[in-house]
Amino acid sequence: MQMPAGGSMDLGSVVIATLIASPSGALSPGPLTLATLAIGSKSGWRGGFLIAVGHMAVELPYVLALFLSMNYVANLLKGLLGDVITVLGVLAISFFAAMIIRDSLKGASSRDPGGSIGAANPIVIGALFTGLNVYFLLWWLSIGLGLVSMTSSIGATAVVVMYLSHVWIDYLWLITVAEASRKGLRILKGKAYSSLLLILGALLLIFGANIALTRFANVSIIP
């Protein structure tokens, strides 16, 4: 993302640039979206809202850390810390996927608030699937880098404006996904709902495997 000609920057430019860049991260399919579909099938928009709260609890401090020390954070993620985050993230995704698959095999019902999914804390899921997703962290160091650079050239006020311009998209997306999941799955009964849970769990495992392969073998199994 390039700065306007002449290098002149204002808060309006920050807002416009943020609105252009943010959908590439916020709306990208991935483990957080799949987890939101699963949790939303039980708790609807409230589950999506709480997942967004957990997501923001990690994202906001991270963005502030980039604002204060961008190069230091980038070097950390390229090294051992990035590898550790990747391993922990894959383990978290796999564990949640196993919970979903177990519910599926037990014949979970879309009208039954119990089960492993019903017991999962959406805020914790949002925080874990954000903080342990090294590719989310790297998004802010790639596509999001221009946004951080812009705010660095203006000051702290620009950080607040930029983040507020970004985070509402996260909330809108996750709330919409969760509520759509609840409404769509209310018509499913028995095996149909269980089969959908099985698919979500399998997709999470695939995403987890892809994250590990991409990080450690430079191979992607997802186009």
How far is CA 106 from each of CA 5, 38, 57, 187, rounded to the nearest angstrom?
A: 60, 15, 33, 19
Query: What's the rounded Cα separation, in Å, for the pair 42 and 111?
Result: 7
Tell me the mean pLDDT in the region 190-211: 85
Residue 164: what pLDDT?
A: 94
Does the pLDDT value for residue 68 go beyond 70?
Answer: yes
- Kindly report the average pLDDT of the chain as a whole number: 85
pTM given for the model: 0.83
So what's the pLDDT on residue 117?
A: 66
- Tens digits of residue pLDDT in 133-154: 888 898 898 888 888 888 887 8
Residue scoring higher pLDDT (114 or 123) = 123
d(CA 192, CA 25): 31
